[in-house]
Structure 1
C-alpha cells in the first residue's frame, strides 16, 4: 500500500514532521509512505486562468497516485496552520485530488492536549464540497508533550502512544481498502464532485 504523509506546517523544526518520520519507519513493512513538505509551496492566490503551480501539481499527482493520505497537523490558536490551509485551498480550487481519498489525521503539540481542536478544524475543512475527502471516523491520534516524545534516534518513547498509534494505523489500512473498493464501484460520483463549483451555486465569486 502506498501512502502520502503531509507535514502540516512550514516550520523548519516540527514534532509533527518527527511523528510522520516515525510512522514511515515504524510501519515500513505495512505500507510505503512518502513524506511531503509544504514549506516551499506558494501561498494561495486565486489565478484568473486556474493554472496550477508546478509544486502544487506535483503534490497533487502524488496524492492521486497514493492509496491514502496521512496529514499531521499542529495547532495554532485552536486551528490548523495557515500554510496547511493555503495548500488545501490550492487543491480545492485546482486539481481536487482529495475527493474520495482516504485520509487519516494525526497531530502533535507541545502541550498535554495534543492538537484536538486543529484536528476537528481540519475534519470540517476536508468535508467541503470541493474536497470531500473520506476521513477515517472515530479515530483521533493526539500526541501531547511532543518535545519530549522522541529520542535521538527518532523513536517515540511513550509506549502507550506507540500502541495507540499501531491500533489507529491498522484501522486506517482497513479503512483505505474498504473506501477504495467503494469508490471504485461508484466512480461516476467522484467525477461529478470534481465538477462542483460555488460560482454555479452562488451565481458569483466567493470573494
Structure 2
C-alpha cells in the first residue's frame, strides 16, 4: 500500500482544504496510508546563511522523503497560493530539496465557483522550479468550488459526481506514483546529481 503525505496549504484554522484532505484520507484508506501535515506553525522563510531550516521544516522534509507521493491542497488567495505555502516551499527549496523527483498531486477548494484553479496553475509553476522540480501529475485538476457548502456535517463531499471525479483522479495518481518512482529509481540520469543553487551559477 502506498504511503502518501497530504499537505494542508494554508494556516487557516477552519480551512475547507483541510476538510478535503481529511475526506481523501478516509475515502481512500483502503488504497493508501495518508498522513496529513499542517504547515500553519512553520516560521516565515528567512534565507539562513547555513541553509539549515528550523526543526519543523526538517520534519516536513523527512516526511516528504519517506512518502511515496505528496498531495497538496491549496486555497486561492488573490489569484495565487497562500503566503504560508509559498514560504514553506521556499524553505524546502533552499534547504534539503526533498521534493525533487517526488510525485505530487494538486487539489484545492475555495469559496468561489472556480475552486482554486488559478492558485493550482501558479503552484504547478512553482513546483517546476529547479530547486523544487517535483514530478507533478499531468492533465489533472481537482477543484472544489463553493467549498463552504461542499461538505456535510461529517466532512463528506455532498456531490456524488465530484466524488466520482476524485476517484478517477486518485486512481490515476496511484499509477503515476508507481510509474514515476520506478523511473526515478531505475534511471539514475533522472535523479539529482547535486543540489541546484542559483548562487553557484
TM-score by length of 1: 0.95
- Please state how far the C-alpha of 1:191 moved relative to its aligned partner: 2.7
What residue in structure 1 maps to residue 108 of structure 2? Answer: 107
Shift of 1:188: 5.0
Post-superposition offset of 1:49: 1.2
Give the 5 Å matches for 1:47-86. Answer: 47-86=48-87
Unaligned runs of 5+ in 1: 202-207
Q: Which residue of 1 aligns with 2:18?
A: 17
CA distances 1:117-171 after superposition (whole Å, capped 9, x unpaired): 0000000000000010000000000100110111111110111100000000000
Partner SS, residue 191 of structure 2: helix
- Which consecutive aligned stretches of 4+ in structure 1 deviate over 4 angstroms post-superposition? none
Please name the residue that 2:165 is paired with. 164
Q: 1:185: Cα distance to partner? A: 1.1
Q: Structure 2: 5+ residue runs without aligned partners?
A: none
- What is the 5 A alignment of 1:1-207? 1-187=2-188, 189-192=190-193, 194-201=194-201
CA distance in structure 2 between the aligned counterparts of 1:11 and 1:149, rounded to whole angstroms: 18
Distance 2:88 2:182 in 1: 27
> In 1, are the aligned partners of 2:8 and 2:38 still within 8 Å (CA)?
yes
Q: How many residues align?
A: 200
Deviation at 1:186, TM superposition (A): 2.2
The CA RMSD over aligned residues, in Å, is 0.8
TM-score when scaled to structure 2?
0.98
